[in-house]
Structure 1
C-alpha cells in the first residue's frame, strides 16, 4: 500500500508539472516583423540597476528592442543617468518639459514603439524605458512598412511591476538614476551540463535497480520451482504478491487525461495555499522515495536489521532498518520545506526528487514496447499542447505559467529538479520536470530488463542505445532553448522521437520488434522440472 502511495504521489507530481524545460518570460511578437535596416538588433536581456539618492537600490531586468543603439555589455562602460517621468506619459507627442540627457520612463500604448523612441530622441533623451502593461517582457519590433528607422538611443521595455516601482520612486520626489547594460551569457551553461548528467545518472540508477530486482526475483522464483517442482500454481500465486506494478495502455492514456485535469486545476487556482499543498505532497513522496533508497542501500551492510520485522499500527509490517531510517528522512524533508526559500534549498529538493524518481522506476514496469510507445506518444502530445497550443485557448502558455508559480508568491513549484546558474551573470536556475526523466526512464528500464533477461551484451542490446538516444534528445532540448531566445521548450518534443525511433528501428532491424511490441521481456523455460508449463523472467503477472 505504501508503495502504491509513492506511485500516485509521483505521477500526481508529474501531472502538475509534466516534462518541459523552460526559459524566460519573453513574449514573442516578431513573427510577422522580419529584420530590416535600422531594426536588426538581437533581442537581449538588459540589467537596469537603480540608484535612489545616490544609494544603490533594486536591479530590474528588461529586454532591448530590435531598433535603437546596441546595449553596452559591461557595467563599467555604462553611464549612470538620471530618470524622468515623461509628460505626456505615453510619449506619443513631444514632452512638455526639458528632458535633455535623461532616461525617459514612459507607458506602453497609443502609438508605435518606434514613434516613442523617435520623440524621446528628438527631445534629447539618452534612452527610453517603456513600462509594459503586463508582467512579461515584450519583444519590441518595427512595422514592416517603416522606412525611417535611424534611431540613435537604446530602448528597453520593463515588466509592469518593475516599471511601476520606478514610477512610484520618482513620484515620491527622490532622485532616481539607472545604469543600463547587457552582460554576455556564457556559451555553455555549466548548470545545464550538470542537470543533463543528473538526469542521465538518475535513469541509470533506476534502470539498474529495476533490472537487478527483476533478476533477483527470477532467481528466487526458480529456487522455489526447484524445491517444489509440482506446486506451480501455489508458487505462481506467491509470486503475484510482488510489489512491482505493471502499467497497461489504458492506464497510460488515463494518466495523460488526469494530468491535463491537474494542470488546468493548478492554472486556475494557483495560490500560496495551493503551492503549500504541493509542497506537502512532494515531501510525502520524497520521504518514501528517500527511505526506500536508503533501506535498499543499507540492507547490504545491515542484513539482520533489514530482514527483521515488526508490526506498526497503520503502517503494518516494517523492518527495523526502515524504522531506523524513517526519522532521518522525515526530518530532512521537513527542514527542506521550512527553509525552501534559502539559496541552497535546491540541494534538498533535488535529493528528494531523485530518490522519488528512482523508487518509481524500480516499482513501476512497462511490460512491453507497445505500452511504452502509447505512454510516450501521449506524453509527447500532452507536452506540446500545454506549452504551445494552450496559448490559443488561454492566451498564454499554461505550462510555463504553472512552472513559474504565478500568483503563488513562490519561485516556481517543487516538482522539478534544478541547479543554479552559478557562472551566469543573469543568475536564475536551469530546471527539468520530473516527467522528462521518469517517463522515458520507464521505457529505458524496460530495455535493460529485456537485455538482462536475454543475456545480451551491452552493445548487442537495447539499453545502451536507448540511453544514448535519451541523452541526445535532452541535449538537443537545451540547444533549442538557447537558440530560441530563452523561449520555453517542451523536452519530450525532442526526447520522445529520439528514444522511441531508436528502439523501434533497432527492433525492426534485428527482427525482434514483434516480440518487443507484444511479449516484452523474453521468456525462459523452467530448467528444473519436466513438462514445466510455467515460463517467466520475473514473478509478476502482466
Structure 2
C-alpha cells in the first residue's frame, strides 16, 4: 500500500468526541446611554462552571480590569479590592486554575482571562482544586480593551450560555450523509466484485489484472499491524502536532483529489462526449478525464487555501470527505468476517482507550484523541519563561486535522458572536463500519442471489447512528460513535448468517470457497487411489 494511502487510513481513525469546552456570552452593561449594553463571546468549561441560559435573572458584578498582571501569585494582587467583582487578568505564565484560586481567595466573584491569541479551550486538570467555585471563562483581549468605548464606564458584567436545541437539523444531515456514504460505498464495492468475477476479455488479461491490483485486501495479520501503526501515528501526532498537521493536510489534499477523480470517473463513463484522446509525452488520455482531473485538483487546492474559513469551506470539506470515504470503502477489502470482527473489535478498544482511559494518564486530564482531533487549545507560544506578545485580538486560526464531516448547527444563538458551531462525525465512523457493509455486499455477490447481508448490515449501521444521536441528546455531550456502530453492524450481519445457517461460510468468506475446492480435490484423489488399490 502506498504511503499516502496508509496515512490516509490513519486519518480516518481520529474521532472527535466533543469535549467540555463550551461557547457562552459575556453581557456587559455600562453608562453609555442607549448603547450601554453589548454581548461578547467567551469560552468556558461546562464541567467546571454552570451558567444560566439567559441574562435576564443573572447576577451582575462590577468589572475590575487588571490585565496588567498575570495574577499567578499573591504579591501580584493589586492594592485595590477585588471583593465581589468580576476580575479580568492576562492569560499565560501559570494555570488558569491558579489564577482563579488567587482571585477567589481575595473574594472575587468571577474570573475572566483575557487572551491575545483567540479563545483557548479550558482543559486544565481540575484535581487538587476541589474548593474552587467561582465561574471561569476566556475572553478576547480586544473585547476587554474596547469595552469602555462600546458601553461606557462603570461596567457590570454577567455570563450566560443559551441552551442549544435538543435536536438540530445538522444531526439529521450528518445521519443522512453517513448512511448514504456507507450504503453507496458498499454497493460500489459489490459492483467492483462483479467486474472481477467476469471472464477476462480477449483483448488481454493484463488489463483485468491491473483492475484487481487497485484493491487492497486485509488479512488478520495486516489488520493487527494496521491498528498498531494507528496507535503509533496517534502518539506521534500528540507529541509533534504542529509539524505533522501540515503533513496530514497535504496527504488529505492529494488523497481526496484522487478519490474524487475515481468516484466521478466511474460516472463519467456513461457520458458519450469527450472521448477523443490527447497525447503528451507518449501518454494518451481522454479529454473528459483531463478536464475531470483539473476540476478535482482545483477543488482540493481551493479547500487547502481557504480551509480556515468556517462559513462556507465546510461544504468542500464534506464533498472531499465523502469522496475519500467512498473510495476507501470500495478499495479496501476485508477477506472474511473473521477479519472484520478483528478490525472492528480492535478499533473499538482503540477508540475507548484513547478517549476514556488516556485522561487518567495525561498531565492535563484530557484524552489524547480529543487533543489530536480538536487541535491545539490556542495557548500562546513560550519563549523561555515569558510568553511571546502578539497583536491584540489576534484572529490567528489554529490548524486542525481534516478528519471529519462537518455540518453547521443553524439553531444556536451564539453563532453571531462566536465561531460557528458544528456537528461532527469522524471519517473512521463511516469507513470502519463501511468496510463490513462492503464485505457483506461482496458476499452477497459471490454466494447469494439477493442483497440480504448488505441490506441487514446497512440497517444495522443506521440503527447504530440513531442510537448514537439519541445518547448524544440525552447526555448532552459528544459520543464515540464506534461504541454503538460496531455492535449494531456486527450483530445485524451475524444474525442473518445464523438464520441462513451460513455462519461458517460467512466467517471464512472467499477462503471458504477455496477450502471447499481443496477438500473436493483431496476427496477425489482418495477415491481414485482407493479404486486403484481395489483394481486387480
TM-score interval (norm. to shorter): 0.7 to 0.9
> Structure 1 residues 16, 358: CA separation in 2 closer, same or farther (over 3 Å shift)?
closer
Determine whether 1:103 maps to 2:89. Answer: no
**1:185 offset after TM fit, Å?**
1.1
**1:170 offset after TM fit, Å?**
9.5
341, 353, 361: which one pairs with 1:393?
A: 361
Equivalent runs, 1:113-512 vs 2, <5 Å: 116=104, 119-120=107-108, 127-129=109-111, 135-136=121-122, 155-159=134-138, 162=139, 175=153, 177-218=156-197, 220-221=198-199, 239=209, 242=212, 243-271=214-242, 273-302=243-272, 305=275, 318-342=285-309, 343-395=311-363, 396-406=366-376, 409-410=397-398, 412-426=400-414, 427-458=420-451, 461-486=452-477, 488-512=478-502
Deviates more, 1:439-448 or 1:176-185: 176-185
**1:46 offset after TM fit, Å?**
3.8
CA contact (8 A) 2:166 2:473 kept: no
CA contact (8 A) 1:132 1:163 kept: yes
Q: 2: CA distance between counterparts of 1:389 and 1:311?
A: 57
Q: 2: CA distance between counterparts of 1:178 and 1:215?
A: 67
Q: 1: CA distance between counterparts of 2:244 and 2:429?
A: 23
Measured against aligned partners, the alpha-carbon deviations of 1:432-483 in whole angstroms (never above 9, x if no partner) come to 111111111111011112223334444xx11122112212222333333444
> Structure 1 residues 13, 239: CA separation in 2 closer, same or farther (over 3 Å shift)?
closer
CA contact (8 A) 2:193 2:445 kept: no
Q: 1: CA distance between counterparts of 2:314 and 2:80?
A: 50
CA contact (8 A) 1:244 1:365 kept: yes
Measured against aligned partners, the alpha-carbon deviations of 1:301-350 in whole angstroms (never above 9, x if no partner) come to 23772xx6666559x66444321211111111111211122210000111
> Structure 1 residues 320, 170: CA separation in 2 closer, same or farther (over 3 Å shift)?
closer
CA contact (8 A) 1:14 1:434 kept: no
**1:155 offset after TM fit, Å?**
4.0
SS of the aligned residue for 2:227 comes to: helix
**1:296 offset after TM fit, Å?**
1.1
Q: 2: CA distance between counterparts of 1:171 and 1:140?
A: 33
Determine whether 1:514 maps to 2:496. Answer: no
Normalising by structure 2, we get a TM-score of 0.74
Determine whether 1:12 maps to 2:11. Answer: no
> Structure 1 residues 195, 291: CA separation in 2 closer, same or farther (over 3 Å shift)?
same
CA contact (8 A) 1:73 1:181 kept: yes
Q: 1: CA distance between counterparts of 2:235 and 2:20?
A: 20
**1:21 offset after TM fit, Å?**
3.6
The runs of 5 or more residues in structure 1 that have no matched partner are: 27-43, 121-126, 229-233, 525-530, 532-542
Measured against aligned partners, the alpha-carbon deviations of 1:135-161 in whole angstroms (never above 9, x if no partner) come to 4257989999x9xx9xxxx942224xx
Q: 1: CA distance between counterparts of 2:216 and 2:502?
A: 25
SS of the aligned residue for 1:23 comes to: coil
CA contact (8 A) 1:450 1:522 kept: no
CA contact (8 A) 1:246 1:365 kept: yes
**1:48 offset after TM fit, Å?**
2.1
SS of the aligned residue for 2:376 comes to: coil
The runs of 5 or more residues in structure 2 that have no matched partner are: 90-95, 379-396, 415-419, 515-520, 522-536
Q: 1: CA distance between counterparts of 2:140 and 2:273?
A: 62
Q: 2: CA distance between counterparts of 1:77 and 1:335?
A: 47
**1:377 offset after TM fit, Å?**
1.6
CA contact (8 A) 1:48 1:179 kept: yes
CA contact (8 A) 1:206 1:358 kept: yes
Across the aligned residues of Structure 1 and Structure 2, the Cα RMSD in angstroms comes to 4.3
> Structure 1 residues 294, 277: CA separation in 2 closer, same or farther (over 3 Å shift)?
same
**1:71 offset after TM fit, Å?**
4.2
The aligned counterpart of 1:59 is 41
> Structure 1 residues 276, 492: CA separation in 2 closer, same or farther (over 3 Å shift)?
same
> Structure 1 residues 141, 95: CA separation in 2 closer, same or farther (over 3 Å shift)?
farther
Deviates more, 1:16-25 or 1:334-343: 16-25
Q: 1: CA distance between counterparts of 2:508 and 2:273?
A: 38
Q: 1: CA distance between counterparts of 2:40 and 2:322?
A: 35
**1:128 offset after TM fit, Å?**
2.0
> Structure 1 residues 14, 240: CA separation in 2 closer, same or farther (over 3 Å shift)?
closer
CA contact (8 A) 2:171 2:469 kept: yes
The aligned counterpart of 2:64 is 84
SS of the aligned residue for 2:480 comes to: coil
Q: 2: CA distance between counterparts of 1:64 and 1:367?
A: 45
The aligned counterpart of 2:26 is 48
Q: 1: CA distance between counterparts of 2:56 and 2:148?
A: 29
